[in-house]
Chains A and B, each alone.
Chain A
Amino acid sequence: MRDLKVSFATRQGVVRAVDGLSFDVGPKEVLGIVGESGSGKSVAMYSILGLVRDANVEISGSVKFQGREILGLSDKEMQSVRGGEVGMIFQDPMTALTPVYTVGWQLVEQLRAHNDMTKQEARERARELLAEVGIPDPKSRLHHYPHEFSGGMRQRVVIAMALSCNPKLLIADEPTTALDVTTQAQILDLMERLQERHGSSIVIITHDMGVIAEIADRVIVMYAGRPAEIGPELDVVRSPRHPYTWGLLGAVPRADVKNRRLVTIPGNAVSPLAVPEGCAFAARCPHKMAICDERPPLRGAHQHLDACWLTDEQRLAIRSVATTRGES
């Protein structure tokens, strides 16, 4: 994906939801995209599949999937990509399934849309899929309606659906946000297991650094529609370079420190209507400098890039002070 830009024309002005996002996803790789609400992470992924249906949207850039440009494909051409080559898992499993059909019906519908299958074959495959995602008694569960499943079980159904046509890429939009903590862990385990077996790549969108640490190989940290930091998961979590990532990691509650106030990043996320020309995070950044009025380029070494004007020496100094104060 190269230089993806998504903007919406609104009455208040142009909203730049995604402003120059580029990344690659290798085969079998798990890429995590983190950011606050409204940082453009979901919109970026929806727009590449043509799921942003808004007359006022403008999408530019280039998205190549297995060597083929898929941005700007017609609806018809897109249909075989969606659900066939790219599967998608959504945030809220409670509303993601059509309430008036059984889950078996909905699985069969997708299988038959992409494969030349008889009803019996599709039904059999649907049963296998439900078994694979760990739904007990899959044969009778096929005949149940979405509202007869719990949230976690419904998310399993959605995962089964996303995987039904053996997609090369799985996009998961906050797959665990709407679930309780124990179910979250189960769903992440399941996704990891299935990814190993099916060999698909995963792009997982989340605002939870814990989810990233659990599952991702590489991470993109987004702020105000722009990438702030990109790098391998271990590097970003252990030695983050961008002040925004410092803030995000600092905001993860810790069990090992008692009586610690919940750390937050000061200020509010920048309004998408008024993203500054320079660094988008500058207004909230405790280390703001004069040069921050210019937009910082994404640079770095060893695949670990970030968009910040701080020099390595400055960062080292800031980080060592923070560590001795026990803040980071």
Chain B
Amino acid sequence: MHTIYARFNNISAMFSSCLMALLAAIALSSFVFTADPKGDLSVASVQVFPGNARRYKNRDQDFAFVNFNVTADLSPLFHWNTKQLFLYVSAEYANKQGVKNEVVIWDRIIRRKEDAHVSIAGRNKYVFRELSTSFRDVSPAHYMLKYNVMPYVGVLTYGEAARTPEPVPFPERQELS
């Protein structure tokens, strides 16, 4: 009963239970912080150009190029259990066939509270293409600024910081001269 093995076993059991309880408490504490910061997102311009698909070199495909402005102060999202913030701009639209699309065009990882005040005039980082290869007759797109709060331990949470007030239509395709 009082062997070294038994003592070690009891101590390690106690230690691991305490650690589990502490981690659970930290994970639960992040539900207390319910910041919902709002920012501003505007689309400056959208252009559509033809190009070749990455996998199919002969397939002609439309590519959209979006210039946008983002201003948001996301520092309230940083509390003691915030490891990082994944910030992304996503476009949402429905195409001619009725397919609902959601495409991330830009993202950024914010790791410090000091960097959480975002003010960017950017353009899309990732290719923005349509499933049917053409943006003709596609419905106007909503653009949204969303974030994912990633904790040190616990539950991942998502939120929306901004969205364009009016849907932005896709222009006619421009030919490359």
A is bound by B = no
B→A interface (CB under 8 Å): none
